Amino acid sequence: MGLSVFIGQLAAQTAVASQGSTLKVEGTKGLKFSGICVSTTDPMIKRSFEGAVPMSVSFDAKIERCSVEKPADGKGELILEFFHKEKLLVSQKFGGPTIGIQFVIPW
């Protein structure tokens, strides 16, 4: 590997690490959920997660689409907020009979 290739890869890794995005999941305390966020431009970039409200998921890559679900019998509400460097880009809320939601991050 040449020095210029190494420097190029290092710069790309630094750019990815500086993305600084966070998905905050709030709502009915203790409500379980699962989800996946992906990049539509690079199918290798994806992150699955699961947990219970409240929870935050951090991303070091440019995420472009997320899908979040709660169990069919999961009564309660989920509030999803996607931030990039502390700027709110998406805010979604769902509950009742709805068990899942998808959203696109408007870069």
pLDDT digits (tens, 9 = 90+) for 45-97: 999 999 999 999 999 888 999 999 999 888 899 999 999 999 999 999 999 88
Q: Residue 66: which of 86, 91, 96, 85 has the closest Cα?
A: 91
* In contact, 23 and 56? CB cutoff 8 Å: yes
Q: Which domain holds residue 65?
A: 20-104
pTM of the entire structure?
0.78
The tally of domains found in the chain comes to: 1
8 part of a folded domain: no
pLDDT band at 8 (very low <50, low <70, confident <90, very high): very low
pLDDT value for 41: 84
pLDDT value for 37: 96
Q: Residue 94: which of 35, 42, 38, 14 has the closest Cα?
A: 35
90 part of a folded domain: yes
Residue with tokens 């199918």, as numbered in its chain: 43
- The more confidently predicted of residues 41 and 2 is 41
* In contact, 36 and 47? CB cutoff 8 Å: yes
pLDDT value for 69: 96
Task: Give me the percent of the chain exceeding a pLDDT of 90.
Answer: 63
28 part of a folded domain: yes
Give the integer Cα–Cα distance in Å for 72 and 105.
25
pLDDT digits (tens, 9 = 90+) for 11-38: 333 334 346 899 999 999 999 999 999 9
Q: In what order do the strands lie in the sheet with 46-52?
A: 46-52, 32-38, 65-69, 100-104
